[in-house]
Amino acid sequence: MLVALTGQEGRPMRLIGYHQGDAVHVGRRLDDGLIEPLGDVLSFWRDPYPAVSKASGGVPLKQDDLRLAPPVPPSARVLCVGLNYRAHVDEGPFTVPDHPTIFGRWTQSLSVDGTPVSVPVDEDGLDWEVELAAVIGRPLRMADEAEALDGVFAYATFNDITARRAQKLTTQWTLGKNADNSGPLGDLVTADEVGDPNAGLRMTTKINGKITQDGSTDQMIFSVGAILSFISRTFTLRPGDVIATGTPSGVGYARTPPWLLHDGDVVEVEVEKLGSVRTPVINAENAEDSHE
């Protein structure tokens, strides 16, 4: 059963991260560009449910005065699912997998809306992948699908930006999936506001305003609950872990000719109910100060 976490006075519950001193803190979006502080990420993710169930009493902050950051703890595992939409499998072309195809990112690859991503020096460009990300709220171990889904605290829009040359050098995808700032993560929207994540949420990617991906979460091969249950049978998922659940068809490398992101391009991904994340693309030589 989903825990109702709607914000004070019925406000939508949308959470962001921001730098404060040497730590990242979590805040709730209010009206008029204000952020209600909810505590540092380590304290928040010990048990996020009570942290958002009441007003913090803190003085609201102006977002324009903050430097934003992904609102996840440094210990978070970022797990991604490859080949989870049949049309994307077909455009590979690949074979439909028997089990969820899991690979890892590091939290250091994550970024936020507006943060530039640079094209690595050996790449012809970068590729895009709009995804629904689930963020865990309570420990999940050997969970069935219903229990696993109930353990999701929030969802977010995610772009699994990929360095395809590096990804394809070997059978392991880790290198191509961890370029600097290549994992922009949107606001966390609490699960009670999203409902069934596989109930057909529209997912789109736009490159310089042109739609290149247009799919729906009801097209997943493995549902969110099935993915989390599968992972939990090998290791315990913990609060703050992020699971990106795959991308629909329409990626750049599968086109004829291939279409990749270059300096000056802007990629924007959006998932219905969750919002969008916008990422400018720059050359590697312009990226000296861009990494969070």
What does the DSSP assignment read for 235-258?
A: S-B-TT-EEE----S--STTSSS-
pTM, whole model, 2 decimals? 0.94
Predicted local confidence at residue 288, as pLDDT: 63
pLDDT confidence of residue 195: 97
Which pLDDT belongs to residue 8? 47
- Cα–Cα–Cα angle for 129, 181, 194, nearest 5°? 50
pLDDT digit string (tens) for the chain, length 292 residues: 445 555 544 556 999 999 999 999 999 999 999 999 999 999 999 999 999 987 667 899 999 999 999 999 999 999 999 999 999 999 988 999 999 999 999 999 999 999 999 999 999 999 999 999 999 999 999 999 999 999 999 999 999 999 999 999 999 999 999 999 999 999 999 999 999 999 999 999 999 999 999 999 999 999 999 999 999 999 999 999 999 999 999 999 999 999 999 999 999 999 999 999 999 999 988 876 544 4
**Where in the sequence of the chain do the CATH 3.90.850.10 domains occur?**
78-286
Listing DSSP states for 50-72 in one string gives HHHSS---PPPEEGGG--EE-SS
Predicted pLDDT of residue 189:
98
- Phi, psi of 44, deg, nearest 5: -60, -45
Q: How many CB atoms lie within 10 A of CB 197?
A: 23
Look up residue 67 and give its two tokens.
Answer: 């430097």
Structure token digits, residue 105: 């990112």
Pick the CATH number of 78-286 from 3.40.309.10, 3.90.850.10, 1.10.10.1800, 3.30.43.10: 3.90.850.10
DSSP code, position 210 = E
